[in-house]
Amino acid sequence: MSYLFRPKNYKPILNLQQTELGITKIKDFFQANLSAELRLRRVTAPLFVLRGTGLNDDLNGTERAVNFPIMDMGDVRAEVVHSLAKWKRVTLADYEIENGYGIYTDMNAIRADEELGNIHSLYVDQWDWERVMTAEERNVDFLKSIVRRIYATLLRTEYLVSESFPDIKPVLPAEITFIHAEELRQLYPDKTPKERETEFARQHKAVFIMGIGGQLGDGKKHDGRAPDYDDWTTPGDNDLKGLNGDIILWNPVLEIAFEISSMGIRVDKDALLRQLALEGKEDRKELYFHKRLLEGSLPLSVGGGIGQSRLCMFFLRKAHIGEIQASIWPEDMREECRKLDIHLI
């Protein structure tokens, strides 16, 4: 079911032409700086993969992938990617990327099961990135160091935007705040996970919530994660489990916790087996990706995705992702947006 959040007294700061210019500036600048910060090389990525290989991202495990038959291959079915979490790791191996270096790509996807609204669209565009790491780096300190480098790139991008468009004032703090999902639960025991994110992001403005995917102290998950890319079961600080998380910013236009990246240290063999068993997905061990990981032909890695349209939406102070990207929206949402001075592309 679609949902439109109506911000109070919204007035776009930039017109349509300025917005397009801002989108170009942000995308060009951010990807160049992210590449330099994490030592990433750009590679070409697929829009679709063959069904049954295990390469597609399962997200929360419930979303249906858009799929179609390939006539010239006996009607074998292909799936439009949800993201490239697993494909990237195979590419690191096939390209023989050395330790401390990685890859990034423009990932375009269709997620037909999204609930459409201000921040969710049928069309997904993000920078997917993946970096080779060592066994000694599989810890929370290394994870935090990568997050801080990404955040430094966000700060530089915000400065570029404010210099280019003086009416857009910087809002990000100098440092990002880290918290584990279990610590967040204990801080706000009577709130839902989304309500906890909202309260913590409202206070700290830029946060990284760790340990997403596994059960917390109340037996519930903060949010779902597929069992075969992020490691959400390996103990970290204070025996709190999980070497992954989300980068969340406080959105001053919508006044919500605004996720711009899901990322983490990826599963090794032990974590994969453990998480497949926990989720009842042990049959996946026979898929192409999983076989390669279990046989040791894939490198250890850290990686994630950073939403391109979401990042532009945040920095250009837009109220709807449809002000950044061309997609399909319910007609009643388009009509309501016109009344609210929200100009959908």
Percent of the chain with pLDDT over 70: 97
* Band of residue 278 on the pLDDT scale cut at 50, 70, 90: very high
Q: The domain spanning residue 115 has which CATH number?
A: 3.30.930.10
Query: Which token pair is 166?
Result: 């003086």
What are the angstrom distances between the C-alpha of 268 and each of 57, 88, 100, 294, 300? 17, 15, 17, 8, 7
Average pLDDT, the chain: 93
Burial code (b: 16+ CB inside 10 Å, e: under 16) for 286-309 equals: ebebbebbeeeebbbbbbbbbbbb
Answer whether residue 126 is part of any domain. Answer: yes
β-bridge partners, 264: 244, 303
Secondary structure (3-state) at 206 = strand
Answer whether residue 175 is part of any domain. Answer: yes
Q: Which of 182, 197, 246, 323 is catalytic?
A: 246
Instruction: Give catalytic status of residue 94 as yes or no.
Output: no
pLDDT of residue 222: 96
Nearest in space to 275 (alpha carbons), one of 295, 262, 290, 259:
290
CA–CA–CA angle 126, 100, 149 (5° rounding): 55
Answer whether residue 9 is part of any domain. Answer: no
pLDDT score of 131 more than 60: yes
Answer whether residue 5 is part of any domain. Answer: no
Nearest in space to 91 (alpha carbons), one of 40, 138, 38, 36:
40
* Band of residue 339 on the pLDDT scale cut at 50, 70, 90: very high
Chain segment 51-80, per-residue pLDDT in tens: 877 777 655 555 678 888 999 999 999 888
Chain segment 159-169, per-residue pLDDT in tens: 999 999 999 99
Answer whether residue 3 is part of any domain. Answer: no
Amino acid of residue 110:
I
Answer whether residue 81 is part of any domain. Answer: yes
Instruction: Give catalytic status of residue 332 as yes or no.
Output: no
Q: Which of 31, 121, 261, 262 is catalytic?
A: 262
State the residue range of the domain holding 228: 16-339
Instruction: Give catalytic status of residue 262 as yes or no.
Output: yes
Instruction: Give catalytic status of residue 231 as yes or no.
Output: no
Chain segment 293-323, per-residue pLDDT in tens: 999 999 999 999 999 999 999 999 999 999 9
Q: Which of 158, 197, 259, 268 is catalytic?
A: 259
Instruction: Give catalytic status of residue 167 as yes or no.
Output: no
Q: Which of 35, 83, 121, 126 is catalytic?
A: 126
Q: Which of 31, 35, 57, 308 is catalytic?
A: 57
Secondary structure (3-state) at 318 = coil
pLDDT of residue 51: 83
pLDDT score of 22 more than 80: yes
What is the pLDDT averaged over residues 209-225? Answer: 95
* Band of residue 343 on the pLDDT scale cut at 50, 70, 90: very high
* Band of residue 344 on the pLDDT scale cut at 50, 70, 90: very high
Answer whether residue 27 is part of any domain. Answer: yes
Number of domains the chain is built from: 1
Q: Which of 31, 83, 89, 111 is catalytic?
A: 111
Answer whether residue 2 is part of any domain. Answer: no
Instruction: Give catalytic status of residue 196 as yes or no.
Output: no
pLDDT score of 205 more than 60: yes
Residue 54: phi and psi, rounded to 5, are: 80, 5
pLDDT of residue 306: 97
